[in-house]
Structures are given as structure tokens and as C-alpha cells.
Amino acid sequence: MSERFNLLTPGHSGCAGCCDALAAKYVLMGVGEDVIVVNPTGCLEVMTSPFPNTAWNVPWIHSLFENGGAVASGIEAALKSLGRKGNTKIVGIGGDGSTMDIGIGSLSGAFERGHDILYVCIDNEAYMNTGNQRSSGTPLGASTSTSPPGSVSYGNPTHKKDMTRIMAAHGSPYVATTSIGYANDMIRKVKKAAETVGPTYIHSHAPCPTGWGFDSSKTIEIAKLAVETCLWPLYEMEDGEVTQVRKVKDPKPVEEYLKAQKRFRHLFKMEDGDKEIEKIQKQADRNIEYYGLNK
Amino acid sequence: MSVQLIKGNTAVIVGALYAGCDCYFGYPITPASEILHEASKYFPMANRKFVQAESEEAAINMVYGAAAAGHRVLTASSGPGISLKQEGFSYMAGAQLPCVIANIQRAGPGLGNIGPEQADYNQVVKGGGHGNYKNIVLAPNSVQEMCDLTIKAFDLAFKYRNPAVLLSDGVLGQMMEPLKFPEKAIEHKVDTSWAVAGNAETKKNLVTSIFLNFEQQELFNVKLLEKYEKICENEVIYEEYLTEDADIILVSYGISSRISKSAVEAAREKGYKVGLFRLITLYPFPKKELLKLATEKNRVFVAVEMSAGQMRDDLALAIECKRPVELVARYGGNIIEMDAILKKIEEIYEKVDF
């Protein structure tokens, strides 16, 4: 295990309390060293690979923003063609913008063709590398630099895209949601995904202190709150069916999660902000009901 | 008239709002993102449409859709994003749709970095996408012009029903200068003679770029070329500074032209006769005016640009290679230093007897 701790070395230029660094570390701890990492553009790529330095102790390739799935497909196909695929896992690690917005076509192609790859989305719910613009991972009501609250807006007007289920609908043998607040759970699921043959998908919730506006010591705390308020349900799906759900005994009200972050602060100050909070609570209630989180 | 100290990228949005732009479609990329941010803030307030797309390609095709419906549309990006938009550029030129695209250039190729460069010149000025087409290209060199030339770009785009590009760079986009706000705002009306505005009046209009018949496609190409000729005849904009008696003429645009102007002044103080020819339209390229300067006197031209002689090649063609053309260039996010231009001037005076 100790060797696995060093697959992503410290000394990179991530912010204090960075979610990407934790998530990438857990991914490598789950996958092990027989891996080729494909990393589309984003904070993780920029902070771990300022030439001539690198934090990666595994083979690592940077792809463009929109093509992580395609590059991973190419590597897998080439290794197979050379007869050198063996147990090597090709692992794509992208952010929410790259995975859910601009790269979804390329990723869909990779999953539909059935390449033996694992793709991990580190979802910090906005384009953090370019200055906190909304993505289709941004939750309802969040203030970002392109969803500012004001006289005609309460912040981001849409709910998060349900990316995990979209990937399950591709016929993936294993998809799971994870959170960087639950390291053991995440490492176990990544390991399982890596050991499953075929295209598998992990979607990890990842609070970003810089973009979300909370103290850098609170990354794990905020991550746990998302799960405890049932806004981020942790579950596994095998061949399209939900097989495991992490129970939440006494779900906390969503306010506890929202009020701890600057990006939701306006909801507590604006007229009718409580109505927006109600909508967010409804989303949590729906998760509780749908996944049977409190049963 | 109101004056405010603002960023170049913000000035693009000010210009767009005054130009009657009613739709903004964009996607984040440094160093152009403030245009997106300001649009997301001010467009809804001014009752205009703002949509953040899921990709560059989606953004440019939203532009296509809204432009076809007769709206005044803006999008902005930087190098890698502009590359992704090229299909849309070609389709809009092919469908003769007006729109404005701001390119806040960064260093390349590939991902490069977020420092300034002018190396998208060939891509933007020569076309970039497939087929025989041209973009109208305007090159601001101040925050004021980021605003004013955005308005001009809308004028030209609609006058010729053609994409117009504001070709800027990371320095101009990020720096702050006082901006005099425009005196009047343009109110946009849909031109029902060609747009498809979803009403009975425009039912018979057609927006397309497909001609399966080879002769028709050729005729359409000829029609486009005639349009570009008209643009070249009528729309050239440039600025001359102390060129009349100059032995050496610096030719430059954008942020490099500001440094070139300082170099001209410093060189004049040392007794060198140096002038600046500043390009404001890159397409149309001021060929006639440059050829005249090359013909009337023994002169040396120096292209000053943050790219590997991309603009220099157009300069050499414009003056029909009648005079030597030297190059002062930097790449990779670095800015040209005035001393490098002065050194080049001194070298030329050592070699050439004017």
C-alpha cells in the first residue's frame, strides 16, 4: 500500500485543500501502478505537470479538453493491436466541464464501442481552471462567474446533469458515485471498476475551496455534508441496476451544506431565496426516496 | 460622455451592447473568459440573450442559428477554442451570415499557455476553415478600440453579411485603460430581405451553404469573391505615423503596434528616420497603400509581430517584394521589447545606404 501512496507525489501546485489532488490520489490507490492515465485539460493537468516537472509516477498523457474518451480508446486499441494490453488499465481522469460538457460525445463513443477503460470524473461543479464558470455539473442556485445572482437571477438556473446514469445507460458493466469525503469507499469502488472488464465509470463529488468559497481546511467536511444531506447519494450500479447504496441514517437539512459555502450565500439573503433552497431540499428528498437512502 | 477605467475584455461587451448585439453565446477559455462573464452579467440585465454553451462548437453553431434568424450575435474565445470553431466560420461565410467573433489570442500551438501571442494571424486572416472564404478582420490596439472596433465589426458584418473577427490578444484583453463610452446605441432591426425570422414575411428566405450542382457552387464562389473584392476596395483601415520621410517603416498591429510606436519615437530622437504603418484591418490588407510607400522611395520594411512572420508574408506580397522586409518577433507568451526593434533599426542603418 505504501508504494501506492506515492503514485501521485506531493509538491504539485494545487491550492491548499485541493479536491483534485485528493481524488487523483485515491484513484491511483485504487487502480495501482499498472495504469496509463489520460488526463484532459483542467486544474489537475495544469497543477501536476508544469514542464519540466511532473507529480505522476505512472505513465500519463495529457489530451485536449474534449477528447479524453477518444485518446483513452486509442491507447487501449493500440495496446490490444500490439498484443500488449495485458491487465494494464487505461484510466481517464477529467473534470466536470471536460467530462459532462465538451467531452461527452467522445466519452459516449468510447463507452458505446466497449473499450476496456475506466473513466473518472472529478466533479467540482464548475470550470475551476478558467475562473469558475458554470458547467452542466453546477447545482441549482450556485453562484459562478457565468451564473451570477442578481435582479433577474438566483444563480445557476438548472440542476446537475445525472452523468452517472447516462454512463450506465451506455451498457457499462459498472458505474459508481464516490466522494472525496469517503476515501475508503472511493478507493474500493475505483478498484472494483478497474478490475471489471469493459468501460467503467466513477463520478466523484469534489468540493473546491477556491471556487465554492470555504476554508481550505474544510474540504472533507463539505464533502461529507453533501452526502449527509443526501444531495450527493453514494451508490453503485452493475449492468444498469443499482446494487449498493450508502445509507444516511438521519439526513441533515440542505441548509447545513449550503450555508457553509460562499457560492450559495445569496440564497440566504435574497428575497424568495428560501424558495430556491426549498427546490434544493426537494432534490435531496427525491434522492432519499429514489435510492432509499434512509431505509 | 462617460469615461470608465475598464478591462479590454469588458470593453468588447460594452461595444457589443452599444452595437445592438442581442445574443451572446460562449464557452470559457483564458484569457477571453471575462467577455463571457460580463455577457452573463449584463446581457440579461439589458434584456438580451446569454447562453453558455457546452463546447466551442456548440457556441459557434448557436451563433449560426441566431444569425440566420437575423439577430446581432457575438461570441468570443482564444486560440484553441477558435480552432474548434472553424467549421462554424466556414459555414457562416458559406451561408453569408453576419456575426462577430472576438479572438483574444494566447500562445500556441496546442494548449500552449495563456500568455499573449499573435500567431492566429494565418488562421483568422486567411480563413481557417475549408473553402474559398475570408473573414473581415479588425485589430484593435487599445481598450478604447476593443469597444469601438467591436461596433465597427458589427457594421461590416451586416453590411457584407459575413463573419467579422476582432483579432486581439491576451494583453489587450486583460489590461485596463480609460474607455469613453459610445455616444449612441444602435437599435437592431431584423433584415427581412434574407433572414429567416420565423414569420410569414421571411418564409421564402433560404439560409444554406449547400449547392450540389457544381456550376451553381462555382457561381456562388464567384459571387463571394466579388464581395471580397468590394470589401478590399472600400473597407481598408490603417494608421500612418511619421512615414512620409521614413527610411524604415515598421509595419505592425495590435499590442505590437503600441511598442512599435514607442520605438519610432525613440529612434527619431536618435536621428533615425523611422515611421510606423499600423494595420487596423488585417483583411482587407492595405496593399495599395503599402505598395505606394515601397515604390516612392528606397526603404526597408520591418514587420513587428508576436508570430513567426505570418503577417510579414502578407506584407512582402503587398509590396510585391520590391523592398527588403525584416522581422522582429517574439513567441510563447513573450512581448516584443522596444530595444529589440531599436537594435534592428540600427542594424539596418549599418547595412543600408538610404
Q: What are the structural domains, with CATH classification, of chain B?
A: 3-234 (3.40.50.970), 239-351 (3.40.50.920)
Residues B273, B282: Cα–Cα separation, whole Å: 25
Question: How many Cβ atoms are within 10 Å of A81's Cβ, its own excluded?
Answer: 9
Whether A136 and A37 have beta carbons less than 8 Å apart is answered as: no
Q: What is the CB neighbour count within 10 angstroms for residue A23?
A: 30
Q: Give the number of domains in chain A.
A: 1
DSSP string, A135-164: -TTPPTT--BTTB--BTTBSS--SPPP-HH
Q: Looking up cell 476553415, which residue turns up?
A: B129
The answer, yes or no, to whether the previous bond of B163 is cis (omega within 30 of 0) is no
Q: What is the mean pLDDT of residues A56-85?
A: 96
The rounded Cα B5 to chain-centroid distance in angstroms is 23
Q: Where residue A49 sits, what CATH number does that domain have?
A: 3.40.50.970
Chain A residue numbers with beta carbons less than 8 Å from the beta carbon of B37 are 131, 133, 145-146
Residue A165, domain extent: 2-291
For chain A, the first-to-last Cα distance in angstroms comes to 35
Convert B281-291 to b/e letters by CB count within 10 Å (16 or more is b): bbbbbbbeebe
Rounded to a whole number of angstroms, the distance from the CA of B79 to the nearest CA of chain A is 13
Tell me the three cell numbers of residue A134.
Answer: 458554470
CB B227 within 8 A of CB B162: yes
What residue has cell string 485504487? A30
Residue B186 neighbours by CB distance under 10 Å? 16
Taking contacts as CB-CB distances below 8 angstroms, the residues of chain A near B33 are 130-131, 133, 145
Please give the order of strands across the beta sheet that includes B274-279.
B238-241, B274-279, B248-252, B300-305, B325-329
Q: For the range B152-160, what are the long-range contacts, defined as Cβ-Cβ under 8 Å and sequence gap of 24 or more?
A: B153/B19, B153/B100, B154/B16, B154/B19, B154/B20, B154/B21, B154/B72, B154/B98, B154/B100, B154/B186, B155/B19, B156/B231, B156/B235, B157/B98, B157/B99, B157/B100, B158/B72, B158/B98, B158/B191, B160/B98, B160/B136, B160/B227, B160/B230, B160/B231
Closest CA relative to residue B40, chosen from B31, B27, B29, B30: B27
Q: What is the pLDDT along chain B (354 residues), one digit of tens a residue?
A: 699 999 999 999 999 999 999 999 999 999 999 999 999 999 999 999 999 999 999 999 999 999 999 999 999 999 999 999 999 999 999 999 999 999 999 999 999 999 999 999 999 999 899 999 999 999 999 999 999 999 999 999 999 999 999 999 999 999 999 999 999 999 999 999 999 999 999 999 999 999 999 999 999 999 999 999 999 999 999 999 999 999 999 999 999 999 999 999 999 999 999 999 999 999 999 999 999 999 999 999 999 999 999 999 999 999 999 999 999 999 999 999 999 999 999 999 999 999
Mean pLDDT of A93-99: 98
Show the cell assigned to B207: 439560409
CB A59 within 8 A of CB A90: no
Does residue A271 sit in helix, strand or coil? coil
Nearest chain A residue to B36 by CA distance is A146
C-alpha cell at A266: 445569496
Alpha carbon distance B78, B170 (integer Å): 9
Report chain B residues whose CB lies below 8 A from the CB of A65. 80
In B161-307, which ranges are continuous DSSP H helix? 170-174, 214-234, 254-269, 287-296
**Which pLDDT band, with edges at 50, 70 and 90, does A295 fall under?**
confident
**Sequence-separated (6 or more) residues with CB below 8 Å from residue B19:** B72, B100, B150, B151, B153, B154, B155, B186
Residue-wise pLDDT tens digits, A196-236: 999 999 999 999 999 999 999 999 999 999 999 999 999 99
Answer yes or no: do B28 and A104 touch at CB < 8 A.
Answer: no
- Helices and strands, number each (H, E), in chain A: 12, 8
User: Which residues fall within 8 angstroms of residue A105, CB to CB, at 6 or more apart?
Assistant: A66
Query: Does ipTM come in above 0.95?
Result: no
pLDDT confidence of residue A1: 47
Interhelix angle A19-31/A183-195, rounded to 10 degrees, is: 50
Rounded CA-CA distance A69/A40 in Å is 9
- Subunit contact B54:A104, Cβ cutoff 8 A: yes
Nearest-by-Cβ selection for A101 from B36, B44, B54: B54
Nearest-angstrom CA–CA distance, B215 and B144? 46
pTM for the full model?
0.95
Contact A284, A290 (CB under 8 A): no
Residue B81's closest chain A neighbor by CA? A65
SS (H, E, C) B72-86: CEEEEECHHHHHHCH
Burial of A52-63, coded b for 16+ CB within 10 Å and e otherwise, reads eeebbeeebbbb
What residues have CB less than 8 Å from A273, skipping those under 6 apart?
A: A154, A266, A267
Mutate to test the interface with A, among B49, B78, B111, B113 (most CBs of A within 10 A): B111
Q: End-to-end CA distance of chain B, in Å?
A: 47
Which chain B positions have a beta carbon within 8 Å of A131's beta carbon? 28, 30, 33, 37
**Contact assessment for residue A102 and residue A124, using Cβ atoms and an 8 Å cutoff:** no
Count of residues making up chain A: 295
Burial of B198 from C-beta contacts in 10 A (0-12 / 13-18 / 19+): exposed
CB-based burial of residue A184 (10 Å sphere; 0-12 exposed, 13-18 middle, 19+ buried)?
Answer: exposed
